Structure 1
Amino acid sequence: MSSPPSSGLPPQVRRLVAATLVNTFGNGVYAAVGALYLTRIAGLSVAEVGLGLTIAGLAGLLVSTPLGVVADRLGPNRAYVAFLLLQAVTMTALTQVLAFPLYVAVAAVTAVADAGQRGAKGALIAGLAPSDQRVRTRAMLRVTTNIGMGVGMGLAGIVLAVDRREVYLIALLTNAATFLLTAAIVQWGMPRLPAVPSATGPSGFTALKDRPFLVFVGLDGLLSMHNAMARIAIPLWVATATDAPAWLISVLLVTNSVAVILLQIRVARGTEQLAGAARAGRRAGLLLALACGVLAVTDVTSGAVTIALLVTAAVVHVLGEMLQSAGGWGISFELAPPGAQGQYQGAYAMGHQFGDLLAPFVLTVVAVSWGWPGWLLTATIFLLAGAFVPVVVRWSQRSDSDGPQQVAKLAGSGEAGPVAADRAG
């Protein structure tokens, strides 16, 4: 299993990279076999699996910010380890799922744990990495995620080839074991970051009162629909609306993964500060809109022209995807006041969860089903969302002097002392 480059990063960040590689390897195994396990082995219908995931997604969305506050109060390390252990439990429990109600319960708890670990991990990055290295660390972890997921999904092919219940169970338990190993690396391989007591830290409602930040979260959620665009909409479009060969779908997916591995760190340069991050958000919207425009043209082309346009759209799309990720990381870190990285990272994750819930409707019902008018409407959504990111960042900077962030900053200085200062990096 190859490791991503990590030179120049502090040792504790390199250990976080290793922990992410282990965790995402297990996630890759489950991503490849989970749906088939639930339908072929557990006996659930496709509709039941989809409904369960929707309910779970809503549960994760609702608790994301409160669990970020938990990460601040307990300390990022303790919270991250606790949520990883909970995910190990729910993945193990999934091997016993034989009915829809139990599946919904397990999926909901899993989504809650996943939402909690996202906020805790974000706060951990903010505390472990120097402020000018946070976005680079995020980029490194995204590269690591693609490598880990790719290796896991590749090895899961063995499970799919054998296609027997006991092998599926081994795959699920392997994923559970990776949560345990990741928790062990975090617990014993990284310095313990201090908690922010409620008496000295910002209010647990600071992020939810920060209107500019919440608007940014919504805009970022719209831009994050690119995830489903790559995984769902483009493959469906290729298969149902163009004359391109089916094997091109694999080429486009591989192109996306390879581009992220090779270019994400480079694309993230310059997004450590708010101005650069805001520009990245605007450019991301422009590129994602351009990709939708190119896809719209393939509605009326054929043959080699269609293939060339689809490859072009995939390349433009992944450039927008990488810019959106880097810009979002930079803005979410920079707008968080001292002592509130956990809750702000939890609130930031809400945007992606919102995008994941909205994307299947927008991208399948509107873009794929309506054809070129649907793609142009989707392009407009991306374009407007990206264009408003710099506007919202400027709004946040103007309101900083008397808004919830300033209150939190004052709470995080003086009495809060070095604890808050450490969180700000």
Structure 2
Amino acid sequence: MTATSTAESPAAPARRRSLLHPDPMVRRLARITFVNTFGNGLLMTLSALFFTRVLGFAAGQVGLGLTAAGLCGVLASIPAGRAADRWGAKPVLIALITLEGLGTLGYVLVHSFPLFVLLACFTTAADRGSAAVRNAMYAEVLPADGRVAGRAYLRVVTNVGLGGGTVLASFALQVDTRGAYVLAILADVVSFAVVALMWARVGTPRRATAGGRAGAAAGASSAEPAEKQGNPALRNLPFLVVTALNAVMALQFAVVEIGVPLWIAKETAAPRVMVAGSLVVNMVLVVALQVRATKGTERPGAAGRIFARGGLFVAVACVVEALAHGLPAWVAAVLVSAGVGFQALGEVYTQAAGWALSYDLAGEGAHGAYQGVFNAGMSASLMVGPALVTTVVIGHGLLGWSLLAAVFAAAGLAMSPAVKWAHRRDGLKAA
């Protein structure tokens, strides 16, 4: 046994500490996030093959079922957020996580297509509802000035967890038997149970609102009970515009996950290994840059400008990707890599700014309602994104990429005016 195996160098603990967030609550949330996303990575990686090869459904049937499930996810976000405001984010979140775990367990038992569709709708509704409530939960357990930085750290953990789940799922894919798939799905079910128990142990202290803004945007100062006022987010037109602009920008996820791989494979001479390489590069850059990208987002006006910067980066990425068509393999590979880099920069900026605005423009007493609406916009974008990107971009080449670039640039540049409008509505000043 060598000396290095019995005693660590002084630098080793320091390196570990540098990777850990200084806030104990964020560290606890990071552990929950890792378990949750590790399980998600398992199911995400093997679900398509399980549904087709094991359950025996046609690819078209699976696509139809998942599209219907996506619509259910959009519809579930708003009532889930309102439930969090009325009954508390933690009990609603634990209930939704439990329901999602039960729905996931049902996949190993279902055999008919109608039941598969119903189960997919049930599970996706619980998933998207829990995402909205989880974001509201962050508002309860994190200080106002630390929410965005905390979420950025958790997004890094999310990428690590998904990557770990994907690696483990690859073994099930290699074995390619019903037993291997079922075992991986059951591991995901166990992760839901563990996550629910972990959330049950999280305290929810009441924190002072920042800058005296409690309830300003949500109209929480009204003497009328919140549950009788209806959804304040749906009556806040500037917030709905901000939500829509963020949803437009979320189409970039379909670009990097579907548009770029199809473009590489069908329309460029770049090596096919770039299909997987582009996703790896995106993940690595997001992990490296997401926390840094939150700097300045604590000021709403600055968050709007950071969102615009991110939108322009995504627009440039689209143009660069388009230029890879018809060029020699090594040039195409360079341009594809550059485009992925620009997109990752745009992604971390727009995500950080979007989180900041979703909290800042909501009243402290109605984060569930506001996060429900904001998450519904994201869910809608994730639902329509794949079809939109494949028809607009892959079907029309340079013209499609240019149109998409213009949409991203316009959405980014429109955010600052929308933020100013929201603050004029509330009688507040955007810094």
- Matched to 1:211, the amino acid is L
- Matched to 1:6, the amino acid is L
Does residue 278 (structure 1) correspond to residue 304 (structure 2)? The answer is yes
* Distance in 2 between residues matched to 1:75 and 1:321, nearest whole Å: 31
* Distance in 2 between residues matched to 1:331 and 1:4, nearest whole Å: 28
Report if aligned partners of 1:124, 1:193 keep a CA contact under 8 Å in 2: no
Q: Which residue of structure 1 aligns with residue 22 of structure 2?
A: 8
Counting only pairs closer than 5 Å after superposition, residues 183-332 of structure 1 correspond to structure 2 as 183-188=196-201, 190-192=202-204, 200-201=225-226, 203-332=229-358
Counting only pairs closer than 5 Å after superposition, residues 404-423 of structure 1 correspond to structure 2 as none
* Distance in 1 between residues matched to 2:240 and 2:368, nearest whole Å: 15
* Distance in 1 between residues matched to 2:61 and 2:264, nearest whole Å: 27
Query: Identity percentage over the alignment?
Result: 37
* Distance in 2 between residues matched to 1:152 and 1:312, nearest whole Å: 28
* Distance in 2 between residues matched to 1:240 and 1:99, nearest whole Å: 35
Q: Which residue of structure 2 aligns with residue 71 of structure 1?
A: 84
Number of aligned residue pairs:
398
* Distance in 1 between residues matched to 2:83 and 2:395, nearest whole Å: 42
* Distance in 1 between residues matched to 2:160 and 2:245, nearest whole Å: 28
- Matched to 1:298, the amino acid is A
* Distance in 1 between residues matched to 2:235 and 2:182, nearest whole Å: 44
Output one character per residue of 1:301-348: Cα deviation in whole Å (capped at 9) or x when no partner: 222111110000000001101111101000000001121101111111
Q: Which residue of structure 2 aligns with residue 115 of structure 1?
A: 128
- Matched to 1:249, the amino acid is V
Counting only pairs closer than 5 Å after superposition, residues 14-413 of structure 1 correspond to structure 2 as 14-188=27-201, 190-192=202-204, 200-201=225-226, 203-401=229-427
Output one character per residue of 1:57-88: Cα deviation in whole Å (capped at 9) or x when no partner: 11111221111010111111111111110111
Report if aligned partners of 1:89, 1:176 keep a CA contact under 8 Å in 2: yes
* Distance in 1 between residues matched to 2:396 and 2:87, nearest whole Å: 48
* Distance in 1 between residues matched to 2:402 and 2:343, nearest whole Å: 15
Report if aligned partners of 2:141, 2:204 keep a CA contact under 8 Å in 1: no
Report if aligned partners of 1:213, 1:396 keep a CA contact under 8 Å in 2: yes
Report if aligned partners of 1:76, 1:193 keep a CA contact under 8 Å in 2: no
- Matched to 2:101, the amino acid is A
* Distance in 2 between residues matched to 1:199 and 1:394, nearest whole Å: 28
Q: TM-score scaled by structure 1?
A: 0.90
Q: Which residue of structure 2 aligns with residue 408 of structure 1?
A: none
Q: Which residue of structure 1 aligns with residue 5 of structure 2?
A: none
Structure 1: 5+ residue runs without aligned partners?
Answer: 403-425
* Distance in 2 between residues matched to 1:307 and 1:148, nearest whole Å: 28
Report if aligned partners of 2:269, 2:325 keep a CA contact under 8 Å in 1: no
Q: TM-score scaled by structure 2?
A: 0.89
Report if aligned partners of 1:93, 1:106 keep a CA contact under 8 Å in 2: yes
Report if aligned partners of 2:271, 2:329 keep a CA contact under 8 Å in 1: no
Report if aligned partners of 1:13, 1:128 keep a CA contact under 8 Å in 2: no
State the Cα RMSD in Å. 1.9
Q: Which residue of structure 2 aligns with residue 423 of structure 1?
A: none
* Distance in 2 between residues matched to 1:396 and 1:7, nearest whole Å: 32
* Distance in 2 between residues matched to 1:374 and 1:119, nearest whole Å: 32
Report if aligned partners of 2:76, 2:126 keep a CA contact under 8 Å in 1: no
* Distance in 2 between residues matched to 1:4 and 1:350, nearest whole Å: 35
* Distance in 2 between residues matched to 1:396 and 1:4, nearest whole Å: 38
Match of 2:204, SS? coil
Report if aligned partners of 1:12, 1:191 keep a CA contact under 8 Å in 2: no
Structure 2: 5+ residue runs without aligned partners?
Answer: 1-15, 207-214
Match of 1:244, SS? coil
